[in-house]
A and B are shown apart, each in its own frame.
Chain A
Amino acid sequence: MILNTKNLRVGYGKKTVVADINIEAMKGQFICLLGPNGSGKSTILKTIVHMLAPLGGGVYLNGQNISSLSNLEIAKTTAVVLTESISPGLMTAYDIVMLGRHPYTGFTGKPTVEDTQKALDALKMVHADNIALRYFGELSDGEKQKTMLARALAQEPQLIVLDEPTSHLDARHRIEVMLILRQLTQKKKVTVIASLHDIDLVMKACDIAILVKDENILAYGAPEDVLDEKSMARLYDMDKAVFSSYLGGVELRSNGYGNVFVVAGAGSGARLYRALVKHGFGIITGVLPENDIDFHIARAVGATVVSDKPYADISPDAYAQAQSLMSNVKFVIDAGFPIAFSNRQNIDLLRYASEKGKSIYTLRDPDEAAKIYGDDAGRFVYCQNLRQFLDVLLKAENLIE
């Protein structure tokens, strides 16, 4: 165990921010703190690196109480990457990384050949050796963050504590930083404790997730166990968005009433659902087997889903339910799902809608539609891409209203 806390209470002065914190960080673990802004993640991180004194309980570094250690002793085991932006003047990225050797250099701070090598290695490890000679002030946010990460590595720590290391970064650097941290924990067996906001990346990269909210630790455990729709909704008070543990990401929830019926399946509905939600449509969809990717996405975006058991024909009950829901909608959409034996009744569903006089919008090729639907295909509205499709739909909606 590298670091643990016992009944730790953190805060400023007399004000407790979070209490009852019991973290056990093992060698090589990637631990992340999730929680809304102001929930106390930073306060916890500052306390475990001894930048803030604990209000109660204790922080133990390799079994020793951190209060009994000097700054230098802590520096040799723990490195930090903070949120505060720095302006070090005329220092190259290499110079900054070399500062990480501070706990090991002599009285004058003159680096040895070994120090130089370690600084260069650290730069290489974060793929930043190409920016080594540029002044820190001239680097992009992503390059700066990689430099600060390399500086932390040059400190040869057993534990790296990072406060929101992916904020302000573009998608590429965000993922790159996470991969570097992942690699550090696996290859170098460094323990990483970080506060993060990217729920999807936490799910995919971390070993332990700690959920922090309202002065409490809501949950502590493997992200696979801890992160689900309920815990995320509670953590972030989300009602307009949903975290789906199957999809490993957040979906925006529809807030419209059900005015569109989508017949989909096998992923054909995924982009369509999101596009419809984005433009304020309320979705009804079906009939989907419960192992279909579209089933999970539709549920996550808050659609009304008509579903059925997987690996079987669509049951008469489900079919009837779909028919009745369909009767009240303005638009029926054929998502262009691939047709197989088990979902052949969805074709009948669309034919039924067409006979009832509903306009059917489809993303299929007209020739393909003619083969599938026969004469009914002549009454369908065809769209080549999603953009065009939405334009048509939005225009039609305005006409109706």
Chain B
Amino acid sequence: MAKEIVASETNATIGFLKRRWKRFALVMTLFAIGVFVFLVLNIALGSVNIPLSDTVKSIFGGHSSQSTFDSIIWQIRLPRAFGALLSGAALAVAGLLLQVFFRNPIVDPFILGVSSGATFMVAIAMLGTYLLGATVVSSLTLSMASFLGAVLVMLVALAVAVRVRDIITLLVIGLMTGYVVSALSSFLIAFAQSENIHRFVIWTMGSFSGFRWDHVQWLTIAGIPLMAGSYLMSKQLNAFLLGENYARSMGVNVKIFRYLIIFLSCTLTAIVTAFAGPVAFIGLAVPHLARLSLGTSDSRVLIPASILGGAMLTSLCDLLARMLFAPVELPVSATTAIFGAPMVIFFLIRRKTTI
């Protein structure tokens, strides 16, 4: 009889694992459908509403009923929609990596000060150059400044990562770096002209407006390999769920892992921030949404789900940012928080266990 009981426990486990894979597949399918739906809506809806048939025709290489539709779709809406989609995916992955790395659920991609670094350099570009006599700053300059700032902060984090014994120290040092750099930005604001400040403040809240094909290209070239690289880390990430000491005891090379995580998450964040500014909340909320709807912390499914979830939620938020008070466009960070936070709270309250 004891043997039968043991056998039934084994079968129960195997049955559970099968049901769980079905759940994973279902959630991912729903996310993928969501991504597609919001993508199409993002292309069809706007100050000029384009009929769905024309939208689909135009996307798939045909010609819609009006040539203006084609140019709106191809020059404005498509790059922006893909920009939002890719940025959301990248931020969600970056957030997930750092949440696992720091074993802390309230960590977001900007925790190491990447956005503060980007913001500071953009502040120099927008506000500082005025002091030097420049009048207009190109968007390319802003992107480069932002990326440079983010990478500089990442280098600080990498330099610190070797020297500290435990990861929490790294987390605190990252936070402190962020504060110092933000303080430097506020110096610049104090000396800047008010119209520049308005532009700057809008930039700090993130936006996908003005996204061009070359931006999308950069995001694709850099972002997709980085996301794929993150997926290849999922085995190590899972070991890290038990903490650094256990991970080491299971054979993970902790030093290399620290470098890779910081590099991957900061670079992903840096390229998004370069084109869209610091888009808040996606990197914090999406990993939770993915975790809670899948019911697992296993990175092997969590990373693909975060990619889809990030793409979906960011597409939705950009749609709302454009449409809610059209023709006034909201900063995207406003909609991400307003619609993302209640979702996370809802899922959390339904859950009994800790995340």
Tell me the A residues contacting B by CB distance below 8 Å.
49, 51, 70-76, 78-80, 82, 84, 86-91, 94-96, 99-100, 102-103, 105, 107-110, 116, 120, 124, 129-130, 132-133, 135, 137-138, 155
Please state if A90 and B355 are interface contacts (CB–CB under 8 Å): yes
In the assembled complex, how far is the CB of residue B16 from the closest CB belonging to chain A, in whole angstroms?
A: 5
Which residues of chain A have C-beta atoms less than 8 A from B16's C-beta?
A: 94, 133
Q: Which residue of A lies closest to B351 (CB)?
A: A90
Partner of A108, one of B234, B248, B291, B352: B234
Q: Does B129 contact A (CB under 8 A)?
A: no
Q: Which residue of A lies closest to B12 (CB)?
A: A133
Chain B stretch 4-21: residues in CB contact (< 8 A) with chain A: 6, 9-10, 12-14, 16-17
A-B contact pairs, 15 of them (CB 8 A): A71-B249, A76-B251, A84-B243, A89-B291, A90-B296, A91-B241, A95-B296, A95-B297, A99-B241, A99-B250, A108-B235, A120-B9, A133-B16, A138-B353, A155-B250
Which residues of chain A have C-beta atoms less than 8 A from B291's C-beta?
A: 89-90
Which residues of chain B have C-beta atoms less than 8 A from A105's C-beta?
A: 235
**Given A102-B239, A110-B300, A129-B6 contact (CB < 8 Å):** yes
Q: Does B253 contact A (CB under 8 A)?
A: yes
Alpha-carbon distance A89/B295, docked complex (angstroms): 10
Which residues of chain B have C-beta atoms less than 8 A from A137's C-beta?
A: 353-354
Q: Does B140 contact A (CB under 8 A)?
A: no
Please state if A99 and B296 are interface contacts (CB–CB under 8 Å): no
Q: Does B338 contact A (CB under 8 A)?
A: no
Which residues of chain A have C-beta atoms less than 8 A from B192's C-beta?
A: none
**Given A51-B248, A75-B251, A99-B239 contact (CB < 8 Å):** yes
Interface SS of B by simple majority: helix
Alpha-carbon distance A108/B231, docked complex (angstroms): 9
Please state if A80 and B246 are interface contacts (CB–CB under 8 Å): yes
Partner of B242, one of A70, A99, A130: A99
In the assembled complex, how far is the CB of residue A113 from the closest CB belonging to chain B, in whole angstroms?
A: 10
Partner of A51, one of B6, B245, B250, B292: B245
Q: Which residue of A lies closest to B235 (CB)?
A: A109
Which of under 10, 10 to 19, 20 to 34, or 35 or more describes the interface residues of B?
35 or more
Q: Which residue of A lies closest to B9 (CB)?
A: A129
Which residues of chain B have C-beta atoms less than 8 A from A71's C-beta?
A: 248-249, 251-254
Q: Does B134 contact A (CB under 8 A)?
A: no
Q: Does B103 contact A (CB under 8 A)?
A: yes
In the assembled complex, how far is the CB of residue A51 from the closest CB belonging to chain B, in whole angstroms?
A: 6
Q: Does B176 contact A (CB under 8 A)?
A: no
Which residues of chain B have C-beta atoms less than 8 A from A110's C-beta?
A: 300
Alpha-carbon distance A95/B297, docked complex (angstroms): 9
Q: Does B298 contact A (CB under 8 A)?
A: yes
Q: Does B196 contact A (CB under 8 A)?
A: no
Could you list 14 further interchain pairs (A-B, Cβ under 8 angstroms) beyond the known A71-B249, A89-B297?
A49-B249, A71-B248, A71-B254, A75-B249, A82-B245, A87-B354, A88-B241, A90-B292, A96-B242, A103-B250, A107-B235, A109-B238, A129-B13, A137-B353
Which residues of chain A have C-beta atoms less than 8 A from B246's C-beta?
A: 80, 82, 86
Chain B stretch 214-251: residues in CB contact (< 8 A) with chain A: 232, 234-235, 238-239, 241-243, 245-246, 248-251
Please state if B295 and A107 are interface contacts (CB–CB under 8 Å): no
Which residues of chain B have C-beta atoms less than 8 A from A103's C-beta?
A: 250-251
Which residues of chain B have C-beta atoms less than 8 A from A78's C-beta?
A: 249
Tell me the B residues contacting A by CB distance below 8 Å.
6, 9-10, 12-14, 16-17, 103, 105, 232, 234-235, 238-239, 241-243, 245-246, 248-254, 291-292, 294-298, 300, 352-355
Please state if B355 and A89 are interface contacts (CB–CB under 8 Å): yes
Partner of A116, one of B14, B238, B354: B14
Top 4 nearest A-B pairs by Cβ distance? Answer: A109-B235, A75-B251, A89-B297, A72-B251
Which residues of chain B have C-beta atoms less than 8 A from A89's C-beta?
A: 105, 241, 291, 297, 354-355
Which residues of chain A have C-beta atoms less than 8 A from B13's C-beta?
A: 94, 120, 129, 132-133
Which residues of chain B have C-beta atoms less than 8 A from A75's C-beta?
A: 249-251
**Given A76-B251, A89-B291, A84-B245 contact (CB < 8 Å):** yes
Partner of B6, one of A76, A94, A124, A155: A124
Which residues of chain B have C-beta atoms less than 8 A from A99's C-beta?
A: 238-239, 241-242, 250
In the assembled complex, how far is the CB of residue B14 from the closest CB belonging to chain A, in whole angstroms?
A: 7
Please state if A90 and B297 are interface contacts (CB–CB under 8 Å): yes
Q: Which residue of B lies closest to A73 (CB)?
A: B251
Please state if B297 and A88 are interface contacts (CB–CB under 8 Å): yes
In the assembled complex, how far is the CB of residue A165 from the closest CB belonging to chain B, in whole angstroms?
A: 14
Q: Which residue of B lies closest to A82 (CB)?
A: B245
Alpha-carbon distance A108/B235, docked complex (angstroms): 6
Alpha-carbon distance A132/B291, docked complex (angstroms): 19
Q: Which residue of A lies closest to B248 (CB)?
A: A71
Alpha-carbon distance A253/B253, docked complex (angstroms): 51
Q: Which residue of B lies closest to A117 (CB)?
A: B10
Which residues of chain B have C-beta atoms less than 8 A from A49's C-beta?
A: 249
Q: Which residue of A lies closest to B15 (CB)?
A: A133
Please state if A102 and B251 are interface contacts (CB–CB under 8 Å): yes
Alpha-carbon distance A94/B5, docked complex (angstroms): 17
**Given A102-B235, A109-B235, A129-B6, A95-B251 contact (CB < 8 Å):** no
Max chain A C-beta neighbours (<10 A), residue from B103, B243, B245, B250: B250
Which residues of chain B have C-beta atoms less than 8 A from A129's C-beta?
A: 6, 9-10, 13
Alpha-carbon distance A169/B270, docked complex (angstroms): 47
Alpha-carbon distance A26/B239, docked complex (angstroms): 29
Alpha-carbon distance A91/B302, docked complex (angstroms): 12
Q: Which residue of B lies closest to A121 (CB)?
A: B10
Alpha-carbon distance A273/B241, docked complex (angstroms): 51
Please state if A90 and B295 are interface contacts (CB–CB under 8 Å): yes
Alpha-carbon distance A95/B10, docked complex (angstroms): 14
Alpha-carbon distance A218/B4, docked complex (angstroms): 50
In the assembled complex, how far is the CB of residue A170 from the closest CB belonging to chain B, in whole angstroms?
A: 22
In the assembled complex, how far is the CB of residue A27 from the closest CB belonging to chain B, in whole angstroms?
A: 20
Alpha-carbon distance A80/B105, docked complex (angstroms): 26
Please state if B296 and A132 are interface contacts (CB–CB under 8 Å): no
Q: Which residue of B lies closest to A91 (CB)?
A: B297
